[in-house]
Amino acid sequence: MTTPRIGLHISGAGGLADAPLRAKALGCECFQFFSRSPRGGGAPPISAETAKLFRSRCKTWKLESYIHAPYYINFASSNNRVSFGSVSAVREELERGTLLGATYVMTHLGSASDLGENAALRQAIDRITAIFDPKKGGPYATQLLIEISAGAGGIIGDTFEHLAFILKGVGRPDLGICLDTCHLFASGYDLRTPTAISATMRAFKKHIPLSRFQLVHANDSARDFGEHKDRHTDIGDGRLGVDTFRFLLRHRDFRGRNFVLETPGADARRRNDVALLKKLRG
């Protein structure tokens, strides 16, 4: 039986090769990072030296790493420059992840804007399929995961039905799912008791094989159940509470999935939250 690894989203300040150092200092067993500025601009090349140092540090400290794709990714934009730009950016992240030895690249799907939900989902399938065009690169050692969203505005990917539709449409067995606890809760999937977690995961498994579920974003929610508001808060400070994370870490459907905190607190608080989740996993 695999014990889940606990880790943090680590800031990119100080250069890529320093990310494993910061992760280690905060008690992480895994970590997520941006390989480029999350708000825009190109990806600065990763030198062979940086990649080697990053990999050797991860190996020495037994750290697993994950890349979070930039925020501007929108496969459903009616603007081709944005939707195809998202394809190139995620493809680059898969290349960069492969270079750095990252296990996953996480992405959001984007927002339906003026396309309407069905057309937006169909376009997202088309764009995600285009990421894997063999003429453009690959195969990649890093696996792509789609993260469930909180569903504010026209954001797609906030229901298991949406995610299942995308997985089926793309038809790649290596395309996985990341479940963010704050986003699930915001989207109306309750997690506050073992019974609620079981009901949520029954709904998941009705649409998606459990084997596609690969990673957890562990965040408390500052906003209430079903509000469709994406406001992460530190563990125990929100509407989910500490008990939720104990239940999740011990629930059979979450077994073997690693937990990455994307909480807003200062380093001291985040280090404590990592220690707390390690304690809660039992």
Closest CB 27 distance from Zn ion, rounded Å: 20
Tokens of 210: 């459990």
Report helix, strand or coil for 7.
strand
Closest CB 180 distance from Zn ion, rounded Å: 4
87 and 69 Cβ atoms separated by less than 8 Å:
no
8 and 23 Cβ atoms separated by less than 8 Å:
yes
Q: What is the rounded distance in angstroms from the CA atom of residue 103 to the CA atom of residue 225?
A: 31
44 and 16 Cβ atoms separated by less than 8 Å:
no
Q: Is 93 in the site for Zn ion (CB under 5 A)?
A: no
Closest CB 60 distance from Zn ion, rounded Å: 27
Q: Is 158 in the site for Zn ion (CB under 5 A)?
A: no
Size of the site for Zn ion (CB under 5 A): 3
47 and 100 Cβ atoms separated by less than 8 Å:
no
Sole window of 27-35, 165-173, 189-197, 216-224 interacting with Zn ion (rule: CB under 5 A): 216-224
Q: Is 180 in the site for Zn ion (CB under 5 A)?
A: yes
**Residue placing its CB nearer to Zn ion in the complex, 18 or 180:** 180
121 and 100 Cβ atoms separated by less than 8 Å:
no
Q: Is 217 in the site for Zn ion (CB under 5 A)?
A: yes
Tokens of 12: 């990119």
**Residue placing its CB nearer to Zn ion in the complex, 231 or 251:** 231
**Residue placing its CB nearer to Zn ion in the complex, 72 or 84:** 72
Residues in 261-280 at the binding interface with Zn ion, rule: CB under 5 A = 262
97 and 142 Cβ atoms separated by less than 8 Å:
yes
Closest CB 104 distance from Zn ion, rounded Å: 12
Q: Rule CB under 5 A: which residues touch Zn ion? A: 180, 217, 262
